[in-house]
Amino acid sequence: MPPIRTQDNVEPAKNQTRGNRKPNIPRGNFEEVNARCQRAQEEGGKIKATIDSYLGHIRRAQGWLAPIVAEEKRRAMEWEMEKTQHCINEAPTTGRKSAMPEDMHLAFTDEPRECTPQAIRMSSISATKSTSPPHPYPPVYHQTPASDTPYNSVLSHPVPLYQSNTDKRQTIHRKPNQPSPSPPTVTVFNTQSLVIIPEIRGMGPDAWRQVVRDWDFPDPSRNHRRPLKELSKGDVPQKQRQLYHLRKVIAEEFINVYACDEARFLADYPSYVKGCTPLFNAIRKKYQEAGTVARRNRGPHVY
């Protein structure tokens, strides 16, 4: 007789206890994962050290370049001040009055001026009311007349930008009577003369009627400037010659052959409902069967 199972002599099943249930994972897997984590940490530390090294190089380079940049800025400011002082020294102090506005003369003098907002506003208003004629081009292209003073000829051109020390003493100033450079020429294309075959997409069975209408009459609303019948082969661009030939065949077939008889034309070519390309193919097939046109573009077209 088998023993009776009681709560005292029943052993719990392995890995089936309630509470802290631990999975049955071999110990070797944990060691492998820990080794991988350690290697990843070591590689991350190396990458961080490399980045810190690069940042250190960048900071040192910025420290080296700071005095060089400051020196270049100082030289540029000195160069601009020298050029401005040169223009002021060349301005005549005697003789006839210059044609420059009075406010511009005051800008180059050492006399004390009132710097209140009201004075600045009045000076700007008087400068805008100058009676100097408008220039067709910016002042850099304005040619100074021979009767103007040398002071005007110097200020009619902009001050050159900063140059290197080797070119600073070799700068040649423009003479008062030297002609200014001519303004750049702008090529203007006449868009009215461009040949564009008008668009007929989406018209369906009525597309052939629009083709006949475009052959005889222009339509500026569709950028159709000239009737197609007035164009020669040389007037049509190379990319549009095949499209022009299609329109020409349909229009001449309806006008010259059928004498604008729409009922007879539509009866002979029922493929017009599919569009202009099927209609063109039907017309071409008719003349190919009659032997009046060569097949596959091997000879001249005869319509």
Segment 99-106 shows an average pLDDT of: 50
pLDDT given at position 268: 93
Domains of the chain, by residue range, sit at 191-297
Alpha-carbon distance of 108 to 218, in angstroms, equals 64
pLDDT given at position 63: 86
pLDDT of 228 over the 70 cut: yes
CA angle 159, 179, 148 (to 5 degrees): 80
What SS3 string covers 178-218? Answer: CCCCCCCCCCCCCHHHCCCCCCCCCCHHHHHHHHHHHHHCC
Residues 148-193 have pLDDT tens digits of 444 444 444 454 444 555 544 544 455 556 666 666 565 544 444 5
Report the chain's mean pLDDT, rounded to a whole number.
Answer: 72
| pLDDT band at 257; cut points 50, 70, 90 | very high
**More confident of the two residues 170 and 195:** 195
| pLDDT band at 232; cut points 50, 70, 90 | confident
CA angle 238, 241, 243 (to 5 degrees): 135
